[in-house]
Amino acid sequence: MSEFNIYPAIDIRGGKCVRLLQGDYDKETVYGDSPVDMAARFEKAGASWIHMVDLDGAKEKKRVNDEFVVKAAKELTAKIQVGGGIRTAEDVAYYLENGVDRVILGSVAVQHPDFAKEMLAKYKEKIAIGLDAREGYVAVNGWLETSEVTAVELGQKMAEYGAETFIFTDIAKDGMLSGPNVEAISQLAKATGKKVIASGGVSKLDDLKELAFYRNEGVAGAIVGKAIYTEKVDLEQALTEVDQ
């Protein structure tokens, strides 16, 4: 059976651990003062991967909260994947050379596909492509703009360039605790023939079980944020029952 990993999420803004509603920077809830302490808590619960996002970086198009990501990567044994504000070869190298296991290319993959192609050729499975979609179309720059490319089109193009892992977010579902868009996630896995990690909408253990049902069709995991912070999902229980 194919693996299915749960990725507890840490979104960093102003050095704190926060969640935004549908990516809206005006709708923020602070869940902790230390992203590194939060990552340690997730590791203690049994997480083998932790998903970290530099929200300030996504908005400002450069690394802003990278020190917290690197600190977590160096201090913990759990693997770290990071997204947000990664725009240059130097950004990618910086994270990978400092212990981060996987770097997510989001907006830059839409706006500069040749750069994504170059990074995929150089770092292979250490690069994931983040596809954040609004009504099927990829959104960029901290979700502030929508492109004219569909998630499936970009996914197929990046798969041709060597991408093995995609992170798919349905923006309409993000932070809403309304259940993931399982259809769109499995469709992307089918269209690309690659691994897809689901992001956005997970609100209960059954959502994770439903996604894990498609593990042999390429659905390789789920990123869970708000549901953990609001205790709708018990991370330890989810890791025991779903994460393999």
- Residues labelled as active-site residues: 11, 132
What's the CA gap between 203 and 218, in Å, rounded? 21
Token duo for residue 92: 């990618």
Please say whether the dihedral angle defined by the alpha carbons of residues 69, 152, 61 and 164, taken in this order, is positive or negative.
Answer: positive
Which amino acid, residue 71? Answer: K
Question: What is the β-pairing status of strands 127-134 and 195-199?
Answer: unpaired
CB of 207 within 8 A of CB of 214? Answer: no
Distance CA 188, CA 72 (A): 31
- Sign of the Cα torsion 29, 211, 206, 127 reads negative
Phi, psi dihedral angles at 118 (to 5 degrees): -65, -45
Exposed (0-12), middle (13-18) or buried (19+): which is 223, by Cβ within 10 Å? Answer: buried
Secondary structure element (H or E) that encloses residue 10, with its range: strand 5-13
DSSP 222: E
Q: Which two tokens stand for residue 138?
A: 């990829």
